[in-house]
Structure 1
Amino acid sequence: MNILVTGGAGFIGSQIVDDLLQEGHDVHILDNLSTGHMAYVNPRAVFHHGDLLDSGLAEVFAAARPEVVIHHAAQIDIQTSLANPFLDAKINILGTIALLEQCREHGVRKLIYASSAAVYGTPQYLSVDEAHPVRPLSFYGISKHTPEHYIESFALLSGMDYTILRYANVYGVRQDPKGEGGVVAIFLDKLLEGKQPIIYGDGEQTRDFIYVQDIVRANRAALNKGSRGIYNISCNEQTSVNDLLKEMCSITGSSFNPSYEAARTGDIVHSRLDNRAALNALGWSPMFTLRDGLGATFAYYQTQYD
């Protein structure tokens, strides 16, 4: 089928593109390269350099004629959202509305939307399931949740199908430690350069880490499953930041010697997402353990520093 991937030159999107091409689909990519990289763009895909709010978005849809749109183009950094909420809302909310309008105009069958655990805010209970109250702490959480409502409304008006995937903390190959990278990429960058990793807070805060290839598999499953549903994509496991770094030190042969700094605004203390709904509706469950995922990530980054 014809598939358009927004953010298809980025960390997650580019690996979804690779997988879709491997499965025999025709893939178009829309990316403004603000955080994506041409080096990640599969040459078998058709690349469109542009922005969701560009006047040329309709031309991209006309060229791609997508049956399915997988939407990963976003502003993804919590601290950026707090410093510049207007930019955050412009990209994540208005950009998604512009995309939805084109989906409606061009008769797209289905939209798969990359949402975030940040929509839940401070958990009232663990594991957090999809029925948990939505009370985001950061502007980023708000700007990822708001499009969910627009997607639901557009679907009712146009008949378009959708699946919303709320990701836990994604890590893995191609994540950029120099930009808005997650903690795994940042820690690996420090360890490989022989520098001291920084932990914000006491390091006992926990996260649910999921390897990028499990995210790729969830998007593949959502092509034809999970109709009009919202699903957590996670490992349903808690790992403290201290334990994460200790595991990474073990894999890389480094000593555990972090620098501790004040906790950051907008960060929750504990997180673990219940993934049973995704298992039931998508037939999906994570395949990578944390150690396996970290090992694969380390092997990739090691080649970048050789």
Structure 2
Amino acid sequence: MTVSFSSDRSAAKTKTYGFVEWFRPGEFERTERLLPDILASGASYLRTHLSWAEYLAPGGEAWFDWLIPRLGGQIDLLPCIHYTPPSMSRTGRSSGAPRDIKAYADFVDHVLTRYGRYFEFVELWNEPNNLLDWDWREDGDFQLFCEMIGKAAYWAKHRGWRPVLGGPCPFDPYWFNLMGDRGLLSVVDAVGFHGFPGTWDSEEGTWGGWDMHLGEMRRILDRFNEDAQIWITETGYSTWRNDETEQARRFIKALSVPADRLFWYSWADVAPDIPVQEGLWFDPRHYHLGAVTHDNQPKLLARLLIEGGVPRLEDITRLAAPNLAKGSAPIVITGGSGFIGSNLADSLLLEGEDVVILDNLNRPGVDQNLAWLTERHGKRVHPVLSDIRDVRGIEPVFTDAKAVFHLAAQTAVTTSLVHPIDDFETNGRGTINVLEAVRKAGRQAPVIFASTNKVYGSLDDLIMVETDYSYVPQDAAIRSRGIAEDRPLRFCTPYGCSKGVADQYVLDYAKSFAIPTAVLRMSCIYGPRQFGTEDQGWVAHFLIRALQGEPISIYGNGKQVRDVLHVDDAVAAYRAVLGNIGKVRGQVFNLGGGANNAVSVLTVLREIESLVGHPLDTRFGDWRAGDQYYFVADAGKLTRELGWQSNIHWKAGLRHLADWLEEHRFAGRVRLQPRKKVPA
């Protein structure tokens, strides 16, 4: 019989939540690094383990003497006391029952005496029906387990603490009923439940939904202890396929589960060099259950919780998948919530197109661009919150697409040097996923790819002349026109390699599979809706820092030259390529502001000073890997083939961006200098 909770049991609808995080002995720095972010996420609780085996190991007591007060002094702490010291185990393993059953209760008593002021509840064991945590082969009827936990629970309750029975995994109602028959349920104040819907294959055939499983649990529990609470001591969703949006959705779903407490497993991914499940097998899902990566890079879930808590998370996850009318042929923009993507989408939507915005919202601020698009264009904007690395998740997006602009990418050279594999997975494999999804759809939809001038390498073979404010090439032809598409490719840095690989694959799909593709190798694009950072989008970043009165870091001497291009001109180029795809399929174009918009970093900074009306606090550092002394795109091919040209002079464009930032980012809190007449 299926039993569901009645509404009066839905205590978890208060939207409080906690996280699970295991800390290994000696992880002082990791603990100090993670704890502030866990608190910033709005978590009310933290569940961690207090290993009996580790406590008695060399250095263990000192470790927990530091850890438990450090955590319990900051957050409502639930220690999970488990793992038998092997020397005391009947099997010689930490999953075995102790030879002296009472020894576990004695240890719990010791923990309560030593650390009890830091918590109210204490969890007694973890996943007792899981062979890796309790060796039930040596305790087939669970008599030893029930005696051990029963003694500990009785004594903890007698001393004034509230015992929690560790959650079974997977949930087994027969085991749970046995715990009641043995009297264990009557001496605990709460029972744990573990469930990971959507993550483990083992649950696909048995998972019946939260209401069914918790209803069954409640029905059994009510027979033995009506006052006991049900806690979700572990639930989560692995992002091993890079579906961070689905993890965020599952978190919101879990908050509505009718339980008294919820612990999300976990805050941080497991580091790849740490064996999981005692090394008995490797499953990538084990390593990607965190809200942040193992090196503390926030996933969508953590970022949104830290930015605005559950309301912020609900706002984003509420965005629906596309609901297109039958026969519709939308244009798909990967990375469509980004700076260029949102401007391009707006241009297409203004002409009545349906646009699918495929974006993982990984970059802070881009959800504001998506909100702007939906406010302006309503139901013709179709957000799909997914990641191009998740091939299974993105394939349906391209089924009816009539054209694709592929802009989604990892965009920072610096990030690629720290995380080269992640950089490749996004830029290399992600591009293959898009191309294959288009090919599988069978509609021969054009694919126009946003590449980069970094495919030409550092250009260190060019002889440069250094002036007071810039570097210029000694070669007069390059100085007057810039770098053309016939420049040999010379990838450098992982970012240049991953984008270069993608660039070449896109071009090859026109040859190998007759998909009409084209590539635009971009210089520095700037303009409204850009959330510039130190690593990417430097023009906007400099302006934002200047308007905030904050220092600006310059890598190198600032004389490096780029041809900056306003985003309106870039959008016009992308649209021109799509409009003439039959003519230019399989071709590559350089896209930049050209010689008329070639400026050094120092020159841009001087112009920013004139806009904000005060000197800038500039600080210089070492050159960054792969940085070009000079790059100016020769966009003559775009002009010859398609009649495109840049129309916005860089000074006018810079003022336009400053005005937009003043109005939309700073809401009038800053004041620019009055407009000067600048070139049209």
TM-score by length of 1: 0.95
The structure 2 residue matched to 1:235, chosen from 575, 584, 593, is: 593
The structure 1 residue matched to 2:396, chosen from 36, 42, 59, is: 59
| Equivalent position SS for 1:202 | coil
What's the counterpart of residue 38 of structure 1?
A: 367
For the 8 Å contact 1:58–1:102, the answer to whether it is kept is yes
How far did residue 148 of structure 1 move? 2.0
What's the counterpart of residue 295 of structure 1?
A: 655
How far did residue 263 of structure 1 move? 1.6
The structure 1 residue matched to 2:501, chosen from 124, 137, 146, is: 146
How far did residue 266 of structure 1 move? 2.0
What's the counterpart of residue 412 of structure 2?
A: 77
The structure 1 residue matched to 2:483, chosen from 106, 128, 139, is: 128
Q: Deviations over 1:76-120 (max 9, x none)?
A: 001001111101100000000011111111123310000001111
The structure 2 residue matched to 1:27, chosen from 333, 342, 355, is: 355
Q: Mean Cα displacement is larger for which, 52-61 or 24-33?
A: 52-61
Distance, in Å, in 2 between the alignment partners of 1:148 and 1:265 is 21
Distance, in Å, in 2 between the alignment partners of 1:34 and 1:278 is 32
How far did residue 53 of structure 1 move? 2.2
Q: Deviations over 1:206-262 (max 9, x none)?
A: 111111111111111111223221001111122111111001111222224422222
Change (3 A) 1:242 1:168: same
Mapped pair 1:258 → 2:618: yes
Distance, in Å, in 2 between the alignment partners of 1:201 and 1:179 is 13
Distance, in Å, in 1 between the alignment partners of 2:444 and 2:362 is 26
The structure number with the bigger radius of gyration is 2
What's the counterpart of residue 666 of structure 2?
A: 305
Letter in 2 for 1:20: L
Letter in 1 for 2:348: L
Mapped pair 1:7 → 2:335: yes
The structure 2 residue matched to 1:217, chosen from 572, 585, 599, is: 572
Letter in 1 for 2:429: L
Letter in 2 for 1:232: N
Change (3 A) 1:181 1:302: farther
What's the counterpart of residue 118 of structure 2?
A: none
Q: Mean Cα displacement is larger for which, 272-281 or 248-257?
A: 248-257
Distance, in Å, in 1 between the alignment partners of 2:397 and 2:381 is 13
What's the counterpart of residue 116 of structure 1?
A: 452
Letter in 1 for 2:623: A
How far did residue 26 of structure 1 move? 1.6
Mapped pair 1:187 → 2:542: yes
Letter in 2 for 1:286: S
Letter in 2 for 1:68: A
Could you tell me the percent identity over the aligned residues?
Answer: 34
How far did residue 177 of structure 1 move? 2.9
For the 8 Å contact 2:510–2:585, the answer to whether it is kept is no
What's the counterpart of residue 421 of structure 2?
A: 86
Distance, in Å, in 2 between the alignment partners of 1:260 and 1:153 is 42
Letter in 2 for 1:101: E
How many residues align structurally? 304
For the 8 Å contact 2:395–2:437, the answer to whether it is kept is yes
| Equivalent position SS for 2:628 | coil
Distance, in Å, in 2 between the alignment partners of 1:3 and 1:159 is 19
- Unmatched 5+ residue regions in structure 1? none
Q: Bigger relative contact order, structure 1 or 2, given CA contacts below 8 A and separation 6+?
A: 1
Distance, in Å, in 1 between the alignment partners of 2:617 and 2:382 is 45
The structure 2 residue matched to 1:281, chosen from 641, 647, 665, is: 641
For the 8 Å contact 2:525–2:567, the answer to whether it is kept is yes
What's the counterpart of residue 64 of structure 2?
A: none
For the 8 Å contact 2:509–2:517, the answer to whether it is kept is no
For the 8 Å contact 1:69–1:108, the answer to whether it is kept is no
Q: Deviations over 1:135-154 (max 9, x none)?
A: 12221111111112212222
Letter in 1 for 2:398: F
Mapped pair 1:102 → 2:445: no
For the 8 Å contact 1:221–1:284, the answer to whether it is kept is yes
For the 8 Å contact 1:78–1:138, the answer to whether it is kept is yes
For the 8 Å contact 2:511–2:586, the answer to whether it is kept is no
Letter in 1 for 2:609: C
